[in-house]
């Protein structure tokens, strides 16, 4: 049994997709949903799903408190799902190749500092891209630069706004993030 923590700063629709998917998995259990934002909707989603959840501060992340708390919970893997703070080096080392992120573009395009949420989709729209998608990657100390493990693509040539792109990409994220993380976790732990 592998124990997973999900970190999210916002709405948490991906976190919910992960929780629901792993409910049916025998070998993976979501033991914690954490947010740096006390009012983040992800915490309500975790409550409704009856998953242990809590709030931590930026300094908890930076000074090792969060890492120590995840150790106490016996967390093996960390899945970032709309988590906006930068992950410090000692946290990355603790979860080396056991920490994943999802990004709503085809990295390395439209990644890096400031590229999150609608900023990404607006930039994609303004660049008149014909295709967009989502990327699942390992996390290192630089935003959006860890090794890419999976990309899902969608045709956006007929879409008329950044919002339409966001909606299409989000569907892809919900479809693939749970499935690909399950495959990776299962493979790595065999």
Contacts of 55 by beta carbon, 8 Å cutoff, 6+ apart: 34, 35, 36, 37, 38, 43
- Residue of 103, 121, 137, 174 with catalytic role: 103
The residues in 64-93 that bind ligand GRF, with binding defined as CB under 6 A, are 81-82
Write the binding mask 138 to 157 for ligand GRF: x where contact by CB under 6 A, - elsewhere. --------------------
Contacts of 144 by beta carbon, 8 Å cutoff, 6+ apart: 101, 103, 107, 108, 111, 112, 115, 135, 137
Q: Which is nearer to ligand GRF, 15 or 156 (CB)?
A: 15
Among 4, 18, 34, 104, binds ligand GRF (CB under 6 A): 104
Contact 177, 18 (CB under 8 A): yes
**Contact set with ligand GRF (CB under 6 A):** 8, 10-15, 81-82, 102-104, 117, 170, 173
For the annotated catalytic residues, the residue numbers are 103
């Amino acid at each position: 049994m592998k124990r997973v923590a999900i970190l999210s700063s916002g709405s948490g629709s991906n976190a919910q997709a992960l929780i629901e998917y792993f409910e049916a998995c025998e070998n993976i259990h979501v033991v914690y949903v954490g947010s740096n934002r006390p009012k983040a909707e992800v915490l309500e989603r975790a409550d409704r799903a009856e998953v242990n959840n809590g709030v931590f501060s930026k300094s908890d992340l930076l000074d090792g408190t969060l890492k120590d708390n995840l150790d106490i919970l016996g967390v093996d893997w960390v899945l970032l799902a709309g988590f906006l703070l930068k992950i410090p080096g000692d946290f990355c080392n603790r979860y080396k190749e056991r920490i994943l992120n999802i990004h709503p573009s085809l990295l390395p395009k439209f990644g890096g500092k400031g590229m999150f949420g609608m900023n990404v989709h607006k930039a994609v729209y303004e660049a008149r891209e014909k295709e967009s998608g989502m990327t699942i990657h390992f996390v290192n100390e630089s935003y959006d630069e860890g090794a890419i493990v999976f990309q899902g693509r969608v045709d956006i040539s007929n879409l008329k706004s950044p919002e339409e792109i966001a909606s299409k990409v989000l569907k892809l994220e919900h479809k693939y993030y749970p499935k690909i993380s399950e495959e990776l976790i299962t493979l790595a732990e065999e």
